[in-house]
Chains A and B, each alone.
Chain A
């Protein structure tokens, strides 16, 4: 999907739909299956597997304690997949265009710039993590609890140094607030089809959510 406006909007609606009901999650997964490159959009499978395992453990605990764990697990994993797709489709600079398009040259530019810097930091952080993992392998040091402390310290420190460098660079270039930018987007026919297709997903999710609130929720029945 080329147009960041449609991509962000679709991701927001799909995430909401997946969160509010299991049917919404199923519909959002169906949308994910049809309109994204699916697992090809996952750049770092290990991170996704790690997050999924963590969610699976929490789901199991919830299932044992109050019986809603499986639903929670499925809904959150669908949200993770949508998030991974969103991150995988990112192109440098597009959040700046989106920010200016949404909120203009001042607030929009600043918010867009922050989003861009955040994404760049995330990418650098993941690259650093790859290099650190290699360094640990070379030294034959296991990346366990004792190894994670210096690795974590290093990651935080490098991130702070990068933030300082970015701040200095912006100051040197005379940045105070806002900036001039003519936002531009490429919208394909598929983007429009995919964007419109989130509407049924939202409808399915809210229908079941409303149904749950009015007819199934013991909490609401108690209130009424």
Chain B
């Protein structure tokens, strides 16, 4: 199971992005500043935006799921229960999972952005897919919800999960770190070595590395372990 980007180039107006590399089974982080092209790359890997040149090969990938940055774009149901059903999920289970018990008849658009994001992520991750592309999954979530999401992602080991985010505080463990800089996707490698070549890591990780306490990975647990290391 792998996704290979063979020297692809994506152009949208004045913006262009080139990417080359292979995403194997595991959890991948694609980082980059706002406007660096993360969402564009996610659309391209999902097959929703053809590259101008180069090819994308998906071997062993039967099903793909893309979670767009704004959960509103995914809404097709007139009620929260209908929305769960549209994802092929059982409404009561999903609503209980994301703390929205009793909201079956509430319009998804009447939920707060954070509530809708929780509902959306619960629906997306409830179904098995070979390739998950999650665009800014942490946006609109509070810290507690971000931790819950990280726990959920930790169980996604049998497929390829690519998280596109500029989140700086709460992150899960990653198998590989990628970084978009100046319109190019760079493979920074696997942690902990990747942390040394990562040009824009979260500030806390940068400080720990500067203090000679490089964490093994970038999850909260790894950061705490590194910070408390004597």
Residues in A neighbouring B77, C-beta threshold 8 A: 150
Q: How far is the CB of B172 from chain A (nearest CB, A)?
A: 23
Residues in B neighbouring A45, C-beta threshold 8 A: none
Residues in B neighbouring A150, C-beta threshold 8 A: 75-78
The answer to whether A134 touches B86 (Cβ under 8 A) is no
In the bound complex, CA of A132 to CA of B48 (Å) = 12
Contact bitstring A22-44, B, C-beta under 8 A = 1, else 0: 00000000000000000000000
In the bound complex, CA of A154 to CA of B73 (Å) = 8
Q: How far is the CB of B54 from chain A (nearest CB, A)?
A: 21
The answer to whether B87 touches A134 (Cβ under 8 A) is no
In the bound complex, CA of A153 to CA of B75 (Å) = 10
Say yes or no: is A136 at the interface (Cβ < 8 Å to chain B). yes
Which of B42-81 touch A at CB < 8 Å?
43, 46, 48, 65-66, 68, 70, 72-78
Residues in A neighbouring B48, C-beta threshold 8 A: 134, 137
Question: How many of chain B's residues have a CB under 8 angstroms from any CB in A?
Answer: 17
The answer to whether B76 touches A147 (Cβ under 8 A) is yes
The answer to whether A138 touches B66 (Cβ under 8 A) is yes
Q: How far is the CB of A151 from chain B (nearest CB, A)?
A: 8
Q: How large is the interface on A (under 10, 10 to 19, 20 to 34, 35 or more residues)?
A: 10 to 19
Q: How far is the CB of A135 from chain B (nearest CB, A)?
A: 4
Residues in A neighbouring B65, C-beta threshold 8 A: 138
Say yes or no: is A3 at the interface (Cβ < 8 Å to chain B). no
Q: Please judge, given known A-B contacts A139-B86, A141-B86, A154-B109, whether A134 and B76 are in contact too, CB under 8 Å.
A: no
- Label chain A's interface by main secondary structure: helix
How many contacting A-B pairs (Cβ < 8 A)? 42
The answer to whether A135 touches B74 (Cβ under 8 A) is yes
Q: How far is the CB of A152 from chain B (nearest CB, A)?
A: 12
Among A135, A154, A158, max chain B CB count under 10 A is at: A135
The answer to whether B75 touches A131 (Cβ under 8 A) is no
Cβ 8 A contact of B68, one of A131, A147, A151, A153: A131
Residues in A neighbouring B72, C-beta threshold 8 A: 154, 157-158
Cβ 8 A contact of A131, one of B73, B76, B78: B73
Interface residues, chain B, CB within 8 Å of chain A?
Answer: 43, 46, 48, 65-66, 68, 70, 72-78, 86-87, 109
Interface residues, chain A, CB within 8 Å of chain B?
Answer: 128, 131-132, 134-139, 141, 147, 150-151, 153-154, 157-158
Q: A134-B48, A141-B86 are in contact. List 17 more A-B contacts (CB 8 A).
A: A128-B73, A131-B68, A134-B43, A134-B73, A136-B76, A137-B48, A138-B66, A141-B76, A147-B76, A150-B77, A151-B76, A153-B109, A154-B73, A154-B75, A154-B109, A157-B72, A157-B109
